[in-house]
Structure 1
Amino acid sequence: MPHDPDPPPAKRFKPGSVLFRLDKNKPRMLLPTKGSATSPIDVQRKRLPIYQAKPQLLNQLRQHHSAILIGETGSGKTTQIPQYLYESGIGRQGVIAVTQPRRVAAVSLAARVAEEKRTPLGKLVGYTVRFEDVTSFETKLKFLTDGMLLREAIGDPLLLRYTVVVLDEAHERTVHTDVLFGVVKAAQHKRRELNKIPLKVIVMSATMDVDLFSEYFDKSPVLYLEGRQHPLQVYYTKQPQADYLQAALVSVFQIHQEAPPSHDILVFMTGQEEIESLARTCRDISKHLPDSCCLMVVVPLYASLPPAQQLRVFRPAPTGCRKVILSTNIAETSVTISGIKYVVDTGMVKAKRFSPDSGLEVLAVQRVSKAQAWQRAGRAGREDSGSCYRLYTEQEFNQLAPMTVPEIQRCNVAAVMLQLMALGIPDVMHFDFMSKPSPEAVRSAVEHLELLGAVEWKDGQVLLTALGKKMASLPLEPRYAKTILLSPNYSCADEILSIVSLLSVDAVLFNPPARREEVLAARKKFSSSEGDHITLLNIYRSFKKAGGSKEWCRENFVNSRNMGLVKEVQAQLRDICLKLNLKLESCGADTGNVRRCLAHGMFVNAAELQLDGSYLALHTHQPVAIHPSSVLFQAKPAYVIFNQLLHTSRCYMRDLCLVDADWLLDAAPDYFSRKLRPTKS
């Protein structure tokens, strides 16, 4: 199993109206497409690079309890390894679990493997993602999100139903993945001690720090698979680009004018606003190109897009048209989009960043890592030779961090600490993380949980309180869990469950920029001067009144599938509340109680209006501003609580609710006596 050679050499292109020259005569090697007469699925499987290594690979996997498997994008590792294990009898006594960081990957991979095994989805091959379980007692190959396996571990810490756990896309290092590493490693050791059926752990990735992973999993062997199936040419800019969006636009149209129509383009961007803006510009420009240019179909891809529209990226463009996909990093891994010949990489990504000193978590645009850059480039080499155009210089690339900083080291770990305590981990302060959060982050998380009343110190140990145990039983951020548990005191549990459910799924509102006026008119019907939480509640109440009608959703620019998920989340949370003997009442039109409850549960995210008209976050005294999308954008309430901070040109508060100073003082008297401005009229 030879190691993939170094990444391909790169060329430079100059900034300006012509960023690069395309070599139209470059030889091309095209794989037959799925389902063609000349290439049934079995033939396709045998053409994957991993197939040549199958005997040697299985021999290695039989011998070791744990293994690290590095296979470049396109090697076939994700779909083939589970099948090889099953077909060779490895792990057949139980279930083979394959974890994915994203639900879309878990679902699409399960569908592909079921197709290759010629079995209905949910039989031999199934998947489990949040609020969706497509498995049966026959399921032996199970794809699931790492968060779902983690929740299973709360009820079964030894993971006894599984004989093999494949931790895929390990380089993404989400919080759930990192906690899962520790849980799976502990389960493996404990099963050995108790003479139970051994648990085999296979960690898979396209790129990662192999030494770190090998050391962590008891000096596991590292197995390298052959690399990319097809040649990949990488280009850099000659000069740094001041405006990566403008550079992306120029790049797209240079490719569009010079490349054959059947070659599609994938552009990596940071978020919905950028994507929709560039999509609009691309569509406008493409209308005025000479007839010699083929037509352009521009397809956006981001998490809050309705699923039906997300699926458009997988459909081939009409004959004679080019598909241009503008995507967030959702398209970086696992999900393969056919026809991608060119990748345009802006080199930027939107990521969470938490400051333990300030206690604030912000969503900010930042540079990708080298590992991410190679993942993006690899999207162009899946089915044919491809090209990646990086909108930054080779020198800038060389200065990028080698790996993405694990999320566990840049997020608020309060929810992680609560979850670990619920798992019965005896000493959460010293949990065996592969990459430990900083002592400041752990201290900040414990302080946060202490403020919420979830934990207490006893004999030098952090222990869950009775309230903390109840909070841990809700699969939510601690502040949301606390808010739900407080809601019966304000006779508004029904409304709080609705609001928390709305905040727990991807965006339920859809805002197509081309129909801005219609969107504003539709939103106005539900808008509340009390803030975004009550506005969302009004929308959800109307949705339920309309019987969940898809027509109503279309008319009001609401994502019907995500609204359906909200109902499922609410039903799950309601069941947990009933088990906790909580009184579930509705406050009807008295939404003041809802806001009072939100203030008591989310008081750490409070902001105060200053004399000059600006806002300060009370926890940190950091200047913040109301986001233009908020219904309170034109208002100047004295006090608000917010869900999230988004850092772009300034620090914006997202999802706001109007609250009173008295409520905040009542929620945490000692805390707010230090934070609130002393003189109030």
Structure 2
Amino acid sequence: MSGDRKRKLDYAEEPGRKGPGPGSGPGSVDADVNPFTGRSYSQRYYDILAKRHGLPVWQAKDEFVNMIHGHQTTVLVGETGSGKTTQIPQFIAEAGYTANRKMIACTQPRRVAAMSVARRVAEEMDVVLGEEVGYSIRFEECSGPKTCVKFLTDGMLLREAMTDPLLERYSVIILDEAHERTLATDVLFGLLKEILKQRTDLKLVVMSATLEAEKFQGYFLDAPLMKVPGRLHPVEIFYTQEPERDYLEAAIRTVVQIHVCEPPGDVLLFLTGEEEIEDACRKVTKELSNMGDKVGPVKVLPLYSTLPPQQQQRIFEPAPPPAREGGPAGRKIVISTNIAETSLTIDGIVYVIDPGFAKQKVYNPRVRVESLLVSPISRASAHQRAGRAGRTQPGKCFRLYTEASFKKDLQEQTYPEILRSNLGSVVLQLKKLGIDDLVHFDFMDPPAPETLMRALELLNYLGAIDDDGNLTPVGSIMSEFPLDPQLAKMLVASPEFRCFRRRGGGLWVQRAAGFLLILRCTVVQGSLYAVAPLAGLAMLIIN
């Protein structure tokens, strides 16, 4: 094994080595045969390639490839519009890191981002999605034996580590949008830091859109930092003169005013959750419909994490054409949670409306209650939102709060999720990974000891760990479910209450509003057996 790893290390660190793909060496960009498929490139590939050449990150391609050859860990800051998310995985693949049936993993904090980026990269590489380029999200796997570049949520990579502790199938792991500091990403930081010590052939690239990258550098022992400028068109920022009493009403009013008064261009409105978004979609559609032919047609589309993937993809559809020849232009209006802040590029967005709020998890370990609270966003998030307006042309951002509030009331960065979340799932996963010394686990921002203790108490209460803190057989099974420990225990215990059958069972789980579990049970001999609430979780049994 050590010899194999040494050979891989020598291979990866050879700066002048040409990879198997276009762009890996001088004069190879216009090669006629796609090395990933063995087929000739399509004309569309060359059309897209010309556009790729205009991305800021393309100008830094050689510098990046040399940097990754010479260092095990690289930190890259790419501003909005730099192209880092789609191009960096391709640069690495073309540099030879997919040899010996190894893969490149690129994590995304959200499912819709993993899917859309994978689709775009497959198009740019002129390959079939699900073959050479794939993705993996909760409850959906779209990859195969030929896959060499895989996009997946950070949670899915963490789950893969449970069965493959050293992540041996990967030669390079890219943590994209690391500045979001999701729970899974923070755990991956500590986990990968340990794996890198054992696998000297593994490369890690940490990509961020903010200047917090110096913190990542220090955490990964002074890893080299590379900065790539963005490709932003100028964005004009507008603030309100006075604080808005009802930001939802103000947001809807702003959407209508933009459609009536502003030149053509699509609109992106940020709201906090599903109910709010669906309500806004109905109201916007109704108000603009009442105006009749005075205004152009609109396509109002929601976007939030629980929306089915097929409906999420509708945000990439073009705006509707004018209702009649010479009539007012149509407009696409996307109403989204902060899911659209990063990673996603929605073509045509010219106007952004930012009420300044988002839902955040807040956990109180003393009462063991995790809440989703509507909270002010950070200045970093506000900057990301405004950047959505300037991706393709000059844009406008309407902030529904005062400039004084932006400067004084908003925090510089979003508080890491690991410091404000229930750590039950994290502790269970770490136990499954064989990490027992939780207090000394190398978290970038260590959570409070009390939060860890409460998580251990909960897992002990559920029977996932014993009194000595060791993982039980039940806990091992629970860790396989991508659910909170309470929900996982409910599923494990369901046969005992005759709510589950191996064949023909109609058991499914869906979380609504964060705390309501809707469970459809199989009816056993005409009767429906109740399931006791676990740790205060409300449950609804539906026949």
Give the TM-score range, shorter chain.
0.7 to 0.9
Q: Is the 8 A contact 1:498 1:537 kept in 2?
A: no
Following the alignment from structure 1 to structure 2, what is the Cα–Cα distance between the partners of residues 491 and 241?
Answer: 53
Would you say 1:321 and 2:337 are equivalent positions?
no
What is the TM-score with the length of structure 2 in the denominator?
0.84
1:92 shift after superposition = 3.8
Match of 1:248?
A: 251
1:255 shift after superposition = 1.7
Note closer, same or farther for the CA distance 1:230–1:90 as it changes in structure 2 (3 Å cut).
farther
The one-character-per-residue Cα deviations of 1:592-638 (angstroms, maximum 9, x if unpaired) are x3x2xx31xx4311xxxxxxxxxxxxxxxxxxxxxxxxxxxxxxxxx
Note closer, same or farther for the CA distance 1:252–1:481 as it changes in structure 2 (3 Å cut).
closer
The one-character-per-residue Cα deviations of 1:517-573 (angstroms, maximum 9, x if unpaired) are xxxxxxxxxxxxxxx86x7527xx6xxxxxxxxxxxxxxxxxxxxxxxxxxxxxxxx
- Amino acid of the structure 1 residue aligned with 2:162: I
- Amino acid of the structure 1 residue aligned with 2:245: A
Match of 1:442?
A: 452
- Amino acid of the structure 1 residue aligned with 2:404: Q
Match of 2:76 among 69, 73, 77: 69
The one-character-per-residue Cα deviations of 1:192-235 (angstroms, maximum 9, x if unpaired) are 3xxxxx11100112125222211111121221101233222222
Match of 2:270 among 247, 268, 271: 268
Following the alignment from structure 1 to structure 2, what is the Cα–Cα distance between the partners of residues 348 and 227?
Answer: 25
Percent identity over paired residues: 47
1:280 shift after superposition = 2.2
Would you say 1:211 and 2:227 are equivalent positions?
no
Match of 1:165?
A: 173
1:129 shift after superposition = 2.1
Match of 1:54?
A: 61
- Amino acid of the structure 2 residue aligned with 1:431: F
Match of 2:7?
A: none
Would you say 1:232 and 2:235 are equivalent positions?
yes
The one-character-per-residue Cα deviations of 1:316-349 (angstroms, maximum 9, x if unpaired) are 1222211111111222221211110010011111
Q: Is the 8 A contact 1:484 1:496 kept in 2?
A: no
Would you say 1:464 and 2:471 are equivalent positions?
yes
Match of 2:535?
A: 604
Highest Rg: 1 or 2?
1
Following the alignment from structure 1 to structure 2, what is the Cα–Cα distance between the partners of residues 482 and 445?
Answer: 14
Note closer, same or farther for the CA distance 1:288–1:426 as it changes in structure 2 (3 Å cut).
closer
Match of 1:587?
A: 524
Following the alignment from structure 2 to structure 1, what is the Cα–Cα distance between the partners of residues 92 and 253?
Answer: 47
Note closer, same or farther for the CA distance 1:424–1:65 as it changes in structure 2 (3 Å cut).
same
Note closer, same or farther for the CA distance 1:86–1:603 as it changes in structure 2 (3 Å cut).
closer
Q: Is the 8 A contact 2:507 2:520 kept in 1?
A: no
Match of 1:134?
A: 142
Following the alignment from structure 1 to structure 2, what is the Cα–Cα distance between the partners of residues 330 and 499?
Answer: 31
Match of 2:159?
A: 151
Match of 2:94 among 58, 79, 87: 87
Match of 1:537?
A: 520
Task: Please list, as runs of the form range in 1=range in 2, the aligned pairs for 1:272-671 lying within 5 A after superposition.
Answer: 272-289=274-291, 291-319=293-321, 320-398=329-407, 399-458=409-468, 462-494=469-501, 501-503=508-510, 537=520, 587-591=524-528, 593=529, 595=530, 598-599=531-532, 602-605=533-536, 641-642=537-538, 655-656=539-540
Gaps of 5+ in 2: 1-41, 322-328
Would you say 1:258 and 2:268 are equivalent positions?
no
1:37 shift after superposition = 9.2
Gaps of 5+ in 1: 1-34, 193-197, 508-531, 542-585, 606-640, 643-654, 659-681
Q: Is the 8 A contact 2:519 2:541 kept in 1?
A: no
Following the alignment from structure 1 to structure 2, what is the Cα–Cα distance between the partners of residues 483 and 177?
Answer: 27
Following the alignment from structure 2 to structure 1, what is the Cα–Cα distance between the partners of residues 502 and 273?
Answer: 30
Number of equivalent positions: 490
1:137 shift after superposition = 2.6
Q: Secondary structure at the match of 1:60?
A: helix
The one-character-per-residue Cα deviations of 1:43-79 (angstroms, maximum 9, x if unpaired) are 1000111111222222222221111111111110011
Q: Secondary structure at the match of 1:430?
A: coil
Note closer, same or farther for the CA distance 1:292–1:201 as it changes in structure 2 (3 Å cut).
same
The one-character-per-residue Cα deviations of 1:335-382 (angstroms, maximum 9, x if unpaired) are 211110010011111122111121101112111112211121111111
